Amino acid sequence: TYLCGGSLLSQTWSLPAAHCIPYAAPQGTITVGAHNLWNSGTNYTIKSIVNHPGWNRYKRNNDVALINHKSVAFSDTVKPICLPSPDVCFNEGTACVVSGWGYTTERGPISDTLQEVAVKIIDYQTCSDSTMYSTMVFPDSQVCAGYVDGQKDSCAGDSGGPLACRLGPNDPWVLYGVVSWGWGCARARKPGVYAKASHYHDWIEETTGGFGKVSLPEKA
């Protein structure tokens, strides 16, 4: 059994990381609405899985997949997350939230209960400079988030889960990143690297057929 996160985009589509999908006979169930990993949540059967055609395990690029599953019942605790528009943009230093049941330290163990932590967006230049990932060139399809001093981060087992950001306190949370990789976890100058969901807007629309336009409620 695999431990990974994912984000519900609609009743029938979820978005995990491509590196979460097993090589052989990908199938099974997703669990939604869980808090405790072992004894809560509801399982839904997977119908099909589409890895991003550009997924590259060695370059760790395009680390996104789409899962088509049986229709999930939404509730107060089970809701889809909004996709950002393709040109969404967050300032460096914006605090976003990453969550999962993954390793609570670099060498484990995983967590029984869902954890969340705020991490801050780090711009490409900083993330690829000599103090961080040195000469690494980050494609526009990835985004770094974390802290210069480390200490707070996603880790193995959180992969595929959401990096959720919002433009302001009254704006919706959007899926900005998908937990993808990093050097270790919570190390100083080695922030988490996320697949940037907005970069995959067109691929998500084409693959899923789109989720329809939803009009926003009037603001009071």
By the criterion CB under 6 A, which residues form the site for ligand 4AZ?
A: 153-156, 158-159, 179, 181-182, 185, 192
User: Could you tell me which residues come within 8 angstroms of residue 128 by beta carbon, excluding any fewer than 6 positions away?
Assistant: 134, 135, 136, 137, 138
Q: Which of 19, 69, 141, 153 is catalytic?
A: 19
Output 158 or 174, the one with its CB closest to ligand 4AZ: 158
Residue 191, preceding peptide bond in cis (omega within 30° of 0): no
Angle at 157 between CA 11 and CA 205, to 5 degrees: 35
H-only helix segments in the chain: 124-127, 201-208
Query: What span, in angstroms and rounded, lies between the C-alpha atoms of 64 and 85?
Result: 17
Q: Active-site residue 171, yes or no?
A: no
Output 132 or 156, the one with its CB closest to ligand 4AZ: 156
Q: Active-site residue 71, yes or no?
A: no
Cβ 181 to ligand 4AZ shortest distance, Å:
5
Output 142 or 159, the one with its CB closest to ligand 4AZ: 159
Cβ 19 to ligand 4AZ shortest distance, Å:
7
CB–CB of 50/65 below 8 Å? yes
User: Could you tell me which residues come within 8 angstroms of residue 31 by beta carbon, excluding any fewer than 6 positions away?
Assistant: 41, 42, 43, 44
Cβ 26 to ligand 4AZ shortest distance, Å:
17
Q: Active-site residue 159, yes or no?
A: yes
Cβ 180 to ligand 4AZ shortest distance, Å:
6
Catalytic residues: 19, 63, 159
